Amino acid sequence: MLKLFLPDQYVKSIFEIRPEKLKANGIKGVITDLDNTLVAWDVAHATEEVHKWFKEMEDHGIVVTIISNNNRERVELFSMPLNRPFVYLAKKPLKRAFIKAAKEMNLNRDEVVVIGDQVLTDVLGGNRAGFSTILVVPIVETDDKITRFNRKIERRILNKLKKQGLIEWEN
């Protein structure tokens, strides 16, 4: 069961995720979390660097869908200027929103990777739905109330994975 919390890859930020490498691994689509993955949870709009990352993905034929447990207003405000599809109130780690996003991209599960900053929502949900997963370091250390609670549990899980030699985790 602990393996459901294990990401396939771990990176410091989305900017380490290169479209060339994704394509070489057969990836044609990305399902990405929003808050603390693309921008800090309290930042409304994409930074210039995030715009550039999305453009690079697009230029390489990789489609990107934004998926968030946040409300429609928050996710739409961020996603619309990027002209990206999105799923709000996703109820991660439930599988439904991940599967819906892949279906709307017309891609099979083995052609999609899930990217996020939380083990308990993004990695667990992506793994449960049968996707490859990439865990990124949260952009900021501050979080909303529920996420702070999740981070405490997440830290314990990551420490167990580290002790078992399943993940290299920097404190």
When the pLDDT of each residue in the chain is averaged and rounded to a whole number, the result is: 90
pTM comes to: 0.87
**Class of CATH domain 2-163:** alpha beta
Rounded to whole angstroms, how far apart are CA atoms 44 and 148?
Answer: 20
Tens-digit pLDDT profile for residues 18-37: 999 999 999 999 999 999 99
What is residue 35's DSSP assignment? B
Q: What is the rounded radius of gyration, in angstroms, for the C-alpha atoms of the chain?
A: 15
Nearest CA-CA partner of 36 in 17, 13, 64 = 13
Quickly count: other Cβ atoms within 10 Å of residue 14's Cβ: 23
Amino acid 41: pLDDT = 83
Whether residue 44 is predicted with pLDDT greater than 90 in this model: the reply is no
Work out the average pLDDT over 140-163: 69
Amino acid 115: pLDDT = 98
- Two tokens, residue 21: 């490498």
% of the chain beyond a pLDDT of 70: 88
Whether residue 70 is predicted with pLDDT greater than 90 in this model: the reply is yes
Amino acid 139: pLDDT = 86
- Two tokens, residue 159: 């420490």
Whether residue 143 is predicted with pLDDT greater than 60 in this model: the reply is no
Rounded to whole angstroms, how far apart are CA atoms 66 and 49?
Answer: 16
Q: Sorting pLDDT into bands at 50, 70 and 90, what band is 113?
A: very high
Q: Would the CA dihedral through 17, 169, 130, 25 be positive or negative?
A: positive
Whether residue 80 is predicted with pLDDT greater than 60 in this model: the reply is yes
